[in-house]
Structure 1
Amino acid sequence: MMPLIPLTVTLVALGTAAPWALAKDEVSSDGVKVEEMSALRKLVPEEELEAAAAQQYLEMKNQAAQHRALAPADNPQLQRLNAIAKKLIPHAERWNPRARQWKWEVSLIGSKEINAFCMPGGKIAFFSGILNQLKLTDDEVAIVMGHEIAHALREHGRERVAKSGLASAGAKIAGIGLSALLGIDPNLAGAATGGVANLTMLKFSRDDETEADLVGLDIVARAGYDPRAGIALWRKMAMVQKNESLQWLSTHPAGKARIAEIQRHLPTVMPLYAKAKGVPQSSLPPYKSNVEGITPIHR
């Protein structure tokens, strides 16, 4: 099996948009409720955005493969990620019907970066640093993946493209304009980077981050993963941040307010989790993380 060799990359949780004008805002009587998506996103052709994202994702994978940093299909951690994605994806189309057409894909890149992202069209990537340094449980991996998928389903990146004035873009969407907007070096696949992917950060608004948290919790709970793991995840992030700067936190601000928002919505998503597990909510045990210092979460 090909070993994962760290690749010097700065790629940040793009969580970019999945384009679809008919994405749902209130999908059922249970689960979380969110505001309507911005009509501005309709100015950007979803097919062109997805095609550009697919191309850039392929270029990133090719570059990682050249540096022996792309995990092969038999890598246990990649298999783990695929298994979790397989459980989450069936619950995506309730938030965006176009998701059923996406060619979903999960990649694992060997890098110390604490990072993950989902691009338009369901292109997901995790960096080994987020798994290894945070010692993520399956529930916590699901929280990260659900959050990034939610950014795509709620078309946050598509809206950002529209607001940037690139809506007319045919060629721009497939070229440097979109690359820069999504934080991707247009020379990613070329020799100009010296074989090192140079990607910058895409920062969503506070409202986008909150929405991705909530929609992600809904998806995770329906898939049978414990939404309380979100609290443990952000507590882990805070613990690790004391020792180093985290790229993921630069685009996903943490803090007590974020944890409080998750806690506030647990009464909405915990019944979904209990239903997925096939047990009464009252019989659910506390969520226990795997790191000393994080107390069991009962709510």
Structure 2
Amino acid sequence: MKHILLAGLTMLLISACATSPTGRSQLMLISPDMAISESKAAYLSTVTDITREHRLVTDDAWTNRISTITGRLVTEAIRKYPGSRDWDWSVAIIDDPETLNAWCMAGGRMAIYTGIVTKLNLTDDEIAQIMGHEISHALANHTAEKMSQAILVNTGLAITSKVTDQNGYVLTGSALAAQLALQLPNSRDAEREADEIGIELAIRAGYRPDAAVSLWRKMSEAGGGGPEFLSTHPSPGNRMDTLQELGEKLESLNPSLTKSAVHPVRIVTDIQQL
């Protein structure tokens, strides 16, 4: 029986290959649409908890700044990836002065923590590099890829044992995948891909490419064992050198750094909006 399951798993892997925007081979057991659906549920759950803790930022200075920066990035994301036009582009600004983190789920649902901006004293250009990087994870279907990896792990475990949650219920399919995908870091290949796509989005949107280097320098110097953002974003030692080269290579796309139009991005200030 194990041999049959392994043979079936091998055939599934062969038929589940996709290609990323940069030409990288991806495992896709979960469709991008499924990843968006599961991410919507996860986002609702996360923002509900934050709302109950009264940690959603509604201050105009914060909301105007973040919506303008992300709106310009989204304009360029839609221009290059038209399929993202109908995504639910939204940002939750989370009041947490100690957390250095930001993320974007499949379907354009984002969050940024106040700590990453205030503790690192980020410029608009550096915020654009963070959000461009995170948006790129969604554009390149990295959520679906991580969910697929989670399903593969579950399938392998199921060959010899059952996988259960804390209440003893067996977890299968997308339910388990969604749960594990939130915990899995992106691969180094996915990080490099998000760096490449993200810095291009930022340049096209009118933000300085060298801000990617200064951002990651600030992140690496943050101390305290490394911020959460770095713990979930594995990086080779030459990342800043690579970003410098990418910036110099791509800056001709928008040498005058003309700012893009601002696409409407919903700032989540209340759970009723979701």
TM over 0.5: same fold? yes
Query: Partners of 1:75 and 1:129 in 2: how far apart?
Result: 17
Letter of the structure 1 residue corresponding to residue 173 of structure 2: K
2:230 aligned with 1:249, yes or no? yes
Letter of the structure 1 residue corresponding to residue 124 of structure 2: D
**TM-aligned CA distance change 1:161 to 1:255, over 3 Å:** closer
What's 1:223 paired with? 205
**TM-aligned CA distance change 1:244 to 1:45, over 3 Å:** closer
TM-score, normalised to structure 1, is 0.69
What's 1:101 paired with? 86
| Structure 1 residue corresponding to 2:132, chosen from 143, 146, 151 | 146
Task: Pick which of 229-238 and 43-52 moved more.
Answer: 43-52
Letter of the structure 2 residue corresponding to residue 98 of structure 1: G
Query: Partners of 2:48 and 2:144 in 1: how far apart?
Result: 25
> How much has 1:142 moved relative to structure 2?
0.2
Query: Partners of 1:24 and 1:176 in 2: how far apart?
Result: 24
Query: Partners of 2:202 and 2:128 in 1: how far apart?
Result: 6
Query: Partners of 2:82 and 2:230 in 1: how far apart?
Result: 30
What's 2:102 paired with? 116
Query: Partners of 2:245 and 2:79 in 1: how far apart?
Result: 23
**TM-aligned CA distance change 1:181 to 1:256, over 3 Å:** closer
The Cα offsets for residues 192-222 of structure 1, whole Å up to 9 and x where unpaired, read as: xxxxxxxxxx311111111111110000000
Query: Partners of 2:145 and 2:236 in 1: how far apart?
Result: 26
1:1-299 alignment runs, 5 A limit: 25=21, 34-38=22-26, 40-41=27-28, 43-72=29-58, 74-111=59-96, 112-165=98-151, 172-173=173-174, 175-183=175-183, 202-241=184-223, 243-254=224-235, 256-277=237-258
Contact (CA 8 Å) 1:234, 1:254: kept in 2 or not? no
> How much has 1:263 moved relative to structure 2?
1.4
**TM-aligned CA distance change 1:223 to 1:37, over 3 Å:** farther
Percent of aligned pairs sharing the same letter: 32
Task: Pick which of 77-86 and 90-99 moved more.
Answer: 90-99
**TM-aligned CA distance change 1:239 to 1:22, over 3 Å:** closer
TM-score, normalised to structure 2, is 0.75
Question: Larger radius of gyration, structure 1 or 2?
Answer: 2
**TM-aligned CA distance change 1:24 to 1:97, over 3 Å:** farther
What's 1:13 paired with? none
Letter of the structure 2 residue corresponding to residue 179 of structure 1: Q
Contact (CA 8 Å) 1:231, 1:259: kept in 2 or not? yes
The Cα offsets for residues 233-253 of structure 1, whole Å up to 9 and x where unpaired, read as: 111112212x45311111224
Secondary structure of 2:122 counterpart: coil
Contact (CA 8 Å) 1:118, 1:152: kept in 2 or not? yes
Q: CA RMSD, aligned part only? A: 2.6
Secondary structure of 1:113 counterpart: coil
Secondary structure of 1:62 counterpart: helix
Query: Partners of 2:30 and 2:235 in 1: how far apart?
Result: 31
> How much has 1:172 moved relative to structure 2?
3.4
Secondary structure of 1:92 counterpart: helix
- Between Structure 1 and Structure 2, how many residues are aligned? 226
